[in-house]
Each structure stands twice: as C-alpha cells, then as structure tokens.
Structure 1
C-alpha cells in the first residue's frame, strides 16, 4: 500500500478527539431487569398452561405451553446476552461484546418463525382430526394467560425501544398475548357452538400476525451483521455533502455501519483545500456527520491533495 502523509483522528459525539474505541454504548440494566421479570411470568404461566391443558384434555393448551416454554428459552437467551454484552472491551474486542445482543435478536426472530411453522403444522393436523376440548377450563387458563401477557407486554413496552434484544422479547410476549386472545375466543366459540375447529383456525390467524414482525426482526439483525449502511444514510450523498464543506477539496471511501442498536460509526477520507489547515478537518467532518446523520463515532483520515482521485 502506498504511504501517505496522513492524519488519523477520531471525532466523537462529545466533540473531543480520542484514539481507540473505549466507550461503546452501555447495556441498559433496566431492560435486563424487565426481561428477567417477564421471564419469570412466562415460565410460571407455561407450567400452569401445561397442567391446565392436561386437565382439560386440550391439546391446544398443551401445545401452546410448548410455545411459552420456547419463549422462556428465548427470554433466557436475551438475559444471557445482556450479561455477555456488559463485559468490558479488551485488546482483541475493542468494541466490546454488544453485538451478542444482535445475535440474540436474530435467534429470537428465527425462533418465532420456527414456532409459526410448528403452529401451522399442528393446526392442519387438528383440522384433519378434531379433538374434544373442555371449553370451560380452557377459557379459565386462557384468561389467566391473557392477564399475565398483558402485564409482561406493559413491562417490556416501557423499556428502551431502540434495543433489538428487548424488541425481540416484546414480540414473543405479543405473540403469546395474541395466542391468549385466540384461545379465549376459541373457548367461547366452542362453548356455544361445539365447533372444535375454531381452535386451529384461530391458531393460524395468530401465526400469520407474528410472521411479519419476526421477519422484520431477522432482517434488521442481518443488516447489522452484514455491516450495511444504516437506514437514512446514503454514502454517495454523504461524500457530496462533505466535499461542499469549507476547507475540503475532496472526500471518498465513506463507510458507515451499525455497531449496535443505539450506535452507528463511520470512516471517511478527505483532502484539504488549498490553504486549509488539515488539522482542523477531522473536527469539522466529524461534527457535520454527527449532526447530519446522528453518527456516534467517526474516524477521519486526511490525505494529501489529489490522492483520492488517484485511488478512486
């Protein structure tokens, strides 16, 4: 690689120059506490639902208890991810462990899609071979589940909406909540009509409602892991805007990516205009990108005039 007389500076949100990545976004302890509480609720209700389904002879409730146990596992995964993400950066992992949260969110979304496939499979089997359901006990257990899931959703919804790990947990709880509503509707319908096919039909409806949210969670997580440019940032436009700044003759090699839910970073090369003080350019560029695009960490390299044209 050809050597250049360059300046490598890091412009951060606090307006000061730093070297290294020594302050990744903090893990929100409040979010971890909320997920821990909902994990307890979900696990407790999964046991109640399994016992209630067995007593009522309801395969729907027993099957949904498996759904709840899977959700408990997903919530436990989220809690483990928080613990790992809280570990301090080291010499090898200078950004810390925050992307573990993204991996957990991806696992949550994938689990949701697997659960949807399983629900649809079970629903088809029940449509082919209807089973007898004791609607009264089923209704009681479903109402208990609805109350627990409402409480869980309210707890998680009060957390940081930008945390994909928390969003994944909330999606699981919302799926459970919709499942409880469907179970209540099915129980009432069976009580008045005797149509046991209402249960699998409503299960499919709930599954379809969950698919869209699960896929969005997976898609967002994959974009982060692929280091795609964050939403709302166009690399070509950003370079054109930087070229228009005072003291800058050219800008190129702009790259931006999401580090974790609440932090995006970028690197860019610029060349000084004639008479410009190259030492001032990192602060100018970093400040502009911070205000324009909300980037929290910008690394600016100042190259000799004309070097970007030769390497474009």
Structure 2
C-alpha cells in the first residue's frame, strides 16, 4: 500500500511566499504600534491620576496590556519565521494563535477590573477635572487612531494580528468614552458619567474578546475551519475524481487560522493509478483552499480496520449521513 505525502510544490511555494511577506510586514506594524502605545501609556496614566478620571486610568490600563500583548504578538511573528525542527515539524506558526488566545484572556481580565473599579466609583463619586481630562483623551484618541491604521493594513486572516487590532480598538473606544465623559462633566458637572462609560466600553470589549478566544481555541483544538465543510469536500472528491470509490478517515484543520491542512484515506477502484488519483485529489483540495494534504490511497479494505472482514457501517450510510471520522 502506498502512502503519499506531497506539498504541491508550486501552490505551497506561492502560499509560503505570501505568508512570509505578510509575516514580515505584520511584524513591523506590530512593533510600531507597540512603541506608540508604550509612549502614550505613561502620559495617559499620569493624566488619569492628576484628573481623577477612571476613564483615563481604564484606557491607560488597556494600553499597559496592549504593550505586553503587542510585544508578545511581535515575538510570535518573530518565532513564526523560524524553520521547522525535528521536534517541531510544523515550525512555530501556531505560536501566533496561542498568543491570540492569551490576548483574549488578558482583555477579559482588564475589562473585569475596570467594571469592579467603576462600581466603587458609582458608590463613592470622586471629583474629576474635566478640562485636563479632555486634552489627554483627545491626544490618546489621535495616538490610537494612528496605531489602528498601522495595524489595519496587515493580514486580516491572521488571528495574531486580529488580536493586536482588538487591543488597539479597545483603546480607541476607551479614548472616545473619555472624551464624551469629559465633555459631559465640563457641561453639567455630573461625574458618574465617567465610570458609566468605562463600563459600557468594557462590555463591548468583553464581547469581541470572547469571539477572538473562541476562534483561537477552535484552531488550537484543530477544528474544521468555519469556511470549509469537510463532508462536502469528501463528497466532491468522490464525485469528481475518477477511480475514487470512497473517502474516509478525513481530517481538516488549520495550522494558524489561515493555512488549511487535511489528511484522508482514499479507497480506489482496482487498476487505478494511485499516483494520478492522489494528484487529482490534491488539486480538488487546493480548489477548496487546502494547500497542504496527506492522502493515503487504499485498495480493498482500509488498513486501519481491526479485522479484514470488518466494514465501517458509516461507509454504507447515505451521503448526507456519512461520517468522515
């Protein structure tokens, strides 16, 4: 029985080249955003302490987390560029997904801290200097807009880049809330607006952080990418590739949220050229967005069956009920 493993040289080289270009530019974008964020974080923290504004302190807290998160994101891009090793045969590409998941947890922790602090401020209102608060908040908004546009031009399919953008977007919302709070305080003197807007921003951030964590966890668990239908792809191969009787033991996953991979067993009719069949299967997989695949051609019974005479009942099921386990 033959076991064929092939990257598909041209397609793999093109996808690797594009990924390398994205990774290099994204790495620079994240570093620029990290430097801008770190520089203004100190200013905003001092502004929050001097004015007594929780909104500014909350935004400074976001920026502190962003400095760490963007630093981790930069290091993840740095690691992802390293070649594969004997122990890490896929390389370090998945580090970016791990960092994205960690970023989501960090955002959760910060948002919950802000909500806790806001509750205390509502119970015991504190004076807030609206004028200086407005100046610092506007400056923070300009810095965050700059960071957002620097990151927004990066690879939008990268979970690591999306996690970095999410952090900066949280800061952007925090700055907007601080500006609104400062204007209301200057106009009416009503200081509870400061913690109230801080809580609203935190709730928005919690929602987006949960979405990021869920998607990163799906990648880490090697789930089927949302853009792909494993059973549909298997039926497509069975219906379009000559000589393929059945596809089973099929697994589809993503290495880092953008590079899709698959393994499968292809049951071939007697007399079929296994090499040609595997090449045709790989072309069909590439058409579905799967650039890297391992295909095991089989004749007769599946090599993984426990007994020669045993047959997987799932293979007898109607196509729309079949399980490609």
- Is the TM value for this pair above 0.5? yes
Question: Which residue matches 1:271?
Answer: 267
Give the one of 43, 49, 52 matched to 1:57. 52
Equivalent of residue 201 in structure 1, options 175, 196, 215? 196
Which residue is 1:19 aligned to? none
Counterpart contact for 1:269–1:302, Cα < 8 Å:
yes
> Match for residue 175 of structure 2?
180
Equivalence map 1:216-255=2 (5 Å): 216-244=211-239, 245-255=241-251
1:280 to 260, 263, 276: 276
Partner of 1:127: 122
Q: CA deviation at 1:253?
A: 0.7
Offset, 1:122: 1.0
Q: What is the distance in 2 between the residues matched to 1:240 and 1:58?
A: 60
Whether the 8 Å contact between 2:260 and 2:292 is mirrored in structure 1 is yes
Instruction: Name the residue aligned to 1:67.
Output: 62
The answer to whether the 8 Å contact 2:44/2:60 transfers is yes
TM-score normalised per structure 2: 0.88
Indicate yes or no: 2:2 matched with 1:6.
yes
Residues 1:63 and 1:177: Cα distance change in structure 2 (over 3 Å): closer
Rounded to whole Å, the distance in 1 between the matches of 2:18 and 2:26 is: 17
Shift of the alpha carbon at 1:56?
2.3
Residue 91 to residue 142, structure 1, CA distance change in 2 (3 Å) = same
How large is the Cα RMSD of the aligned pairs? Answer: 2.1
1:146 and 2:138 correspond = no
Question: How far apart are 1:7 and its partner, in Å?
Answer: 3.0
Q: Taking structure 1 as reference, are residues 259 and 148 closer, same or farther at Cα in structure 2, changes over 3 Å only?
A: same
Gaps of 5+ in 1: 17-21
Q: In structure 1, what is the Cα distance between the partners aligned to 2:189 and 2:100?
A: 40
Runs of 4+ in 1 over 4 A off after TM superposition: 22-25, 308-311
Task: After TM superposition, give the deviation of residue 90 of structure 1 in Å.
Answer: 1.1
Deviation at 1:57, TM superposition (A): 3.4
Q: Tell me: CA distance 1:127–1:298, structure 2 relative to 1, closer, same or farther (3 Å).
A: same
- What's the CA shift string for 1:143-191, capped at 9, x where partnerless? 0000000111111111111111111111111110111010000000001
Q: Retained in 1: the 8 A contact 2:26–2:151?
A: yes
Cα distance in 2 for partners of 1:305, 1:220 equals 39
Per the normalisation by structure 1, the TM-score is 0.91
Task: Tell me how far apart the structure 1 counterparts of residues 278 and 63 of structure 2 sit (CA, whole Å).
Answer: 51
Cα displacement (A) at 1:272? 1.7
C-alpha separation in 2, matches of 1:302 and 1:23:
30
1:51 Cα deviation from its structure 2 partner: 1.8
Partner of 1:93: 88
Which residues of structure 2 form unaligned runs of 5+? Answer: 313-325
| Cα distance change on mapping 1:161 and 1:140 into 2, 3 Å | same
Aligned positions, number: 303
